[in-house]
Chain A
């Protein structure tokens, strides 16, 4: 491992931070290419430090009890009177009860300034729609669901003992609290996903359900024939369409980009890259016709973290030598 000149490490910092200029990126590329195997490894080490130290919660931060602190601060806040659309009877209720209601309501967390939430109360069930942005929902058992924009989740405000069940339409990432006594299940129109404690990603499009398991183990059942099921463990993915299970392979972690903001391409064919970009940024990129047949031979190795599309395109162009033009609100790649 050779000592790198400091300016290159500064540039790596800027590249990871997403603020490197085009000429700096070229310097970095040249530096990497001068001794690829060893320098790639050095770069990866920096990247891992960068990614890990930016994790939330920060490594080791469990030592602080956010929940207890919130309860303490909540008591000290002068809570404003709230007009409640769910239970109007609460207004004249004692103060204690209002605070408790607010705590329950506040368990619905809203991410992003543009997003908003709506709910209705049916026998203590709540339906949430991620209208304009991703939506993070904390369930009463401590499980956390991240809904992708457009997804709809119905769940009980408080799970009954031994019964943890929610309904989903759209795409969502589940991080389920372990509870050996109580299975957690996700109902979709055509299937039931059963888990103990795990994290997984569900995608529902018309009558097709796709489930990807990140950790732990799940069981995916056909709703009309519960005898028909598959069990999945970490890093496995399966689809269910028309009562048939289809095994999927996991190419990369970009299917979670909508949640993490991270797009990772490791020697990825350009046509797959374009798919991932269109999934994350909305349909906005395509390939010129003459490029389509050769796209799978053009490989991209790049890492992006909450990057703007223009910046991403810029870096792809730099590393592939392709050019781009604007056509009908889309960016089209073509050979120079």
Chain B
């Protein structure tokens, strides 16, 4: 891979995962700016010292693992409890005039889902986000969190069960969306 290809590859990885990594970090640190700093720092570290990772599939694992470690490191420094809201679109100034009606139901569902994920117990949330945002395998999650694959399976099941409670709440509002 030439330097130019490596650079492009790096940018692709950045564009694919930056937002998800920030969201993931935010779920731990609770502070938007801190999350962005952590994620950018991790990316810079990859570029400066771990270029060999960039073309490989493992880069995703490395990114989520590092962001997790650094976010938790930050959090323990602050001794805060990790009950943290996701940044929701409503609170940003850039709230788009995305008023297409057919999207509103799906939006309601997603907002509810995000709310649901936010309210999961910490360990359960961690495992679920690593799986869905980080696209990590159960084995990778187990290795990373120092738990068994069986525990990962249980936590995912638990997350699904809890999240369904939120889905049912939207379903009452928008029954048509589901059929």
Contact = CB atoms under 8 A, between A and B. Distances in A.
The judgment on whether A and B are partners is yes
Interface of A: 1, 4, 6-7, 9-14, 17, 19, 42, 44-46, 48-50, 52-54, 56-64, 66, 69-70, 72-74, 76-83, 102, 105-106, 108-111, 113, 116
Interface residues of B, number: 62
Contacts of B12: 109-111
A82 B161 contact: no
B76 interface: no
B157 A60 contact: no
Nearest to A74: B11
B23 A60 contact: yes
Contact of A52 (B18, B43, B110): B110
B132 A53 contact: yes
Interface of B: 2-5, 7-9, 11-12, 14-16, 18-20, 22-23, 32, 36, 39-40, 43-44, 47-48, 55-57, 86-89, 91-92, 94, 96, 109-111, 113-114, 117, 128, 131-133, 135, 137-138, 153-154, 156-161, 163-164, 167-168, 178
Given A73-B40, A77-B44, A63 B89 contact: yes
Contacts of B91: 63
10 nearest A-B pairs in the assembled complex, by CB-CB distance: A10-B157, A59-B110, A63-B87, A13-B156, A61-B19, A9-B157, A80-B3, A53-B132, A64-B22, A82-B4
A132 to B, nearest CB: 14
A66 B110 contact: no
A20 to B, nearest CB: 10
Say whether chain B's binding surface is mostly helix, strand, loop, or mixed.
Answer: helix
B104 to A, nearest CB: 14
Given A79-B7, A80-B3, 8 more contacts: A10-B156, A17-B138, A45-B167, A49-B167, A52-B109, A57-B19, A64-B18, A70-B15
Contacts of A116: 5
Contact of A56 (B11, B20, B111, B164): B20
B162 to A, nearest CB: 10
Contact of B92 (A12, A48, A62): A62
B157 A6 contact: yes
Say whether chain A's binding surface is mostly helix, strand, loop, or mixed.
Answer: helix
Contacts of B18: 64, 66, 69-70
Given A61-B20, A73-B40, A45 B164 contact: yes
A61 B9 contact: no
